[in-house]
A and B are shown apart, each in its own frame.
Chain A
Amino acid sequence: MNKSTPSVVIVDDHRIFRSGVRAELGEMVEVLGEAETVEEAVRAVNELEPDVVLLDVHMPGGGGVEVIGQVSKSRPQQRFLALSVSDDPKDVIAIVRAGARGYVTKTITGEELADAVARVRDDDAVFSPRLAGFVLDAFAGEIPADEVDPELDQLTPREREVLRLLARGYLYKEIALRLNISAKTVEAHVSSVLRKLQLSNRHELSRWAVTRRLVD
């Protein structure tokens, strides 16, 4: 694990919020710059080349999803961590599927955020308990066998177990202890879930994302 201070660019359309994050991160993370629109963000990220982009989900002009789309053209390896007040599953799933390696809510503490940034920098996935719950929901239920791509469309029992414990608020090292596996293996499981969430075309995902709040 890389021990140096990770660098970030903060993208959010609220100035007060940006300065708040900057203050909370303090010395733990190096803030290279800030941006408040999609264009500014794309320019800043291409110029400053941060380890991680802290990205707001809702912004005028397309929001975080748009930023990821445009930056990925020039910097396909850029890592993003979504940071939002929204806990609408539709928003969360959309930004993760666009390419964010994690999702945390804005009520997170500075320390936790710095930790999340470092983990995203090291190519880990960062799942808040709520995101873990959304993912379990998205992958719940049976789908016809001929439509299944077992590589992508289903979670393994172990992955489910890890997600369940994440949803219950346990940390990676606590999960490792409970399941008798190493913390690295826990990380591997989470990264694999992230990959499935991003790549699976499982109809449940899109159907769920669109209709979840409308029906019932």
Chain B
Amino acid sequence: MSNGRTPWLRRDSSNAILGGVCAGIARALRIDPIITRVGFVVLTVGTSGIAAVAYLLAWALIPASPGGTATARERPRRRRGSWRIATGVALLALSVLLAFRELGFWWSDALVWPLTLAAFGVALLWSLSRPRPEAEPTREDRGAPPALAEIEPPPAREQAGRLSRAGFGIALIVGAGLLFLWAQGVLDAAGDVALAALVVTLALILISAPFWWGLLRRLTVERSARIRSQERAEVAAHLHDSVLQTLALVQRRAGDPSAVAKLARHQERELRSWLAGSEARPGERLADALRAAAEEVEESHGAVVEAVVVGDARLDEHLDALVAATREALTNAAKFASESGEVRLYAEIENGAARVFVDDRGPGFDPEKVPADRRGMRESIIGRMRRHGGRAEIRSAPESGTEVELEIPVEERER
């Protein structure tokens, strides 16, 4: 569970009647949940209600199936929901127990009631020790600034909630034990000793309370200070690796304006994406892949490539081909137009198609007169687009720049 593998057994909250235990077991065994549910009811009758207690335990112990990705806003609601479920389960278990008591399927008051109480307590405590679903690491850390929410200590209210739940659980178990002892008549003799012990304990708690309180406060303060310094160290490390390195390079190459401009541009882009906190995913998203291609060409050919992308889509093999053809078009434009201004990349993913335009203000050429040995354009742009069900058009004329238009159908359109 904690090593990140999906446990074999999970509660199925999406098909839950109560807590989803039966549904979860059914799913794990690949049978209809109605079978496990009926089986559970039969078992409950057979064991005079102990199975209901077992259900409670199972609810506490078996992690819920991940119901999609919970956003920060959904979390509190989900937790309130689980309290509702807990209350429901408790009331149901109670009524079942009472019903069995009336019907005569009963061991003895002295056994079942303390057992039930203790089961509640155990369930509560275990539910606390279960790793919280939102704590699962989901993002790979590749130097992006960690989102603040991830490193912030849990809010005080949540801490208090956990504490009070733990206290309640312990009280339930201790109460159950006392109830059992009292029912057995053992407690009378121990009564005086217990009272004395209780008084002493209370006194100790009162005396040491300020000390504990102070310790708690100090720990909290230290913790937030540590988090702050960690954050600082991370920012410092990043600036050191990126901005300071670039500045050093800029000083060394001060005599070469185009190299300096290139360095500055690269650093600017890198810093921007870091500040935005969103890691570009050129392996997954079309927009990021196109921007990455523009950047690549810019760096290898020293031309300025301005990229504007509207919309986005998930990459597949056809869109990979589109990216490759775009890179080829950009490279051509950068080679032939670098002195006459920038190269422009405009892409829009809309209405079921991805369209890419690469424009330059270079010298242009007569497409009819491209020598056969310069297959680059023909094969890697037009041929590639055709093979993947798209099309490519290259418009150019001497003295008026070149314009490459690529189009390919896209199945899903995402905003």
Q: Which chain A residues have a beta carbon within 8 Å of chain B's beta carbons?
A: 87-88, 129-130, 132-133, 136-137, 140-141, 164, 167-170, 208, 213, 216
Contact = CB atoms under 8 A, between A and B. Distances in A.
Interface in B302-349: 306, 308-312, 342, 344, 346, 348
A137 B344 contact: no
A216 B310 CA distance: 15
B350 interface: yes
B120 interface: no
B278 A133 contact: no
Given A87-B272, A213-B278, A132 B415 contact: no
A140 B347 CA distance: 14
B180 interface: no
Interface in B287-309: 306, 308-309
B357 interface: yes
28 contacts: A87-B272, A88-B276, A129-B306, A129-B344, A132-B308, A133-B308, A133-B309, A133-B310, A136-B348, A137-B310, A140-B310, A140-B311, A140-B350, A140-B415, A164-B346, A164-B348, A167-B310, A167-B346, A168-B308, A168-B344, A168-B357, A169-B342, A169-B344, A169-B359, A213-B276, A213-B278, A216-B312, A216-B414
A116 B342 CA distance: 19
A141 to B, nearest CB: 6
Contacts of A137: 310-311
Given A167-B310, A168-B344, 20 more contacts: A87-B272, A129-B344, A130-B306, A133-B308, A133-B346, A136-B310, A136-B348, A140-B310, A140-B350, A140-B415, A164-B348, A167-B308, A168-B308, A168-B359, A169-B306, A169-B344, A169-B359, A208-B415, A213-B276, A216-B312
Contacts of A213: 276, 278
A164 B346 CA distance: 8
Nearest to A131: B308
A74 B300 CA distance: 52
A189 B348 CA distance: 20
Contacts of A136: 310, 348
A216 B359 CA distance: 30
Sort A-B residue pairs by CB-CB distance and give the 4 closest, nearest first: A133-B308, A169-B344, A168-B346, A167-B308
Which of B272, B310, B344, B357 has the largest number of chain A CB atoms within 10 A? B310
Nearest to B277: A213
A140 B306 CA distance: 21
Given A164-B346, A169-B344, A130 B415 contact: no
A141 B415 contact: yes
B350 to A, nearest CB: 6
B279 to A, nearest CB: 12
A136 B355 CA distance: 14
A88 B277 CA distance: 12
Contacts of B306: 129-130, 169
Which of A87, A169, A216 has the largest number of chain B CB atoms within 10 A? A169
Nearest to B275: A88
A87 B312 CA distance: 18
Contacts of A132: 308
A63 to B, nearest CB: 16
A164 B351 CA distance: 15
Contacts of B312: 216
A114 B359 CA distance: 25
A170 B360 CA distance: 10
A130 B308 contact: yes
Contacts of B308: 129-130, 132-133, 167-168
Which of A129, A167, A216 has the largest number of chain B CB atoms within 10 A? A167
A88 B359 CA distance: 24
Contact of A129 (B278, B346, B350, B414): B346
B75 to A, nearest CB: 16
A167 B312 CA distance: 16
A95 to B, nearest CB: 18
A130 B308 CA distance: 6
Which of A88, A140, A208, A213 has the largest number of chain B CB atoms within 10 A? A140
A167 B347 CA distance: 9
Nearest to A132: B308
A213 B415 CA distance: 11
A122 B89 CA distance: 72
Which of B342, B350, B414 has the largest number of chain A CB atoms within 10 A? B350
Nearest to B355: A164
Contacts of A164: 346, 348
Which of A137, A141, A208 has the largest number of chain B CB atoms within 10 A? A137
Contacts of B309: 133
Contacts of A88: 276
Contacts of B357: 168
A88 B350 CA distance: 21
B264 to A, nearest CB: 10
Contacts of A140: 310-311, 350, 415
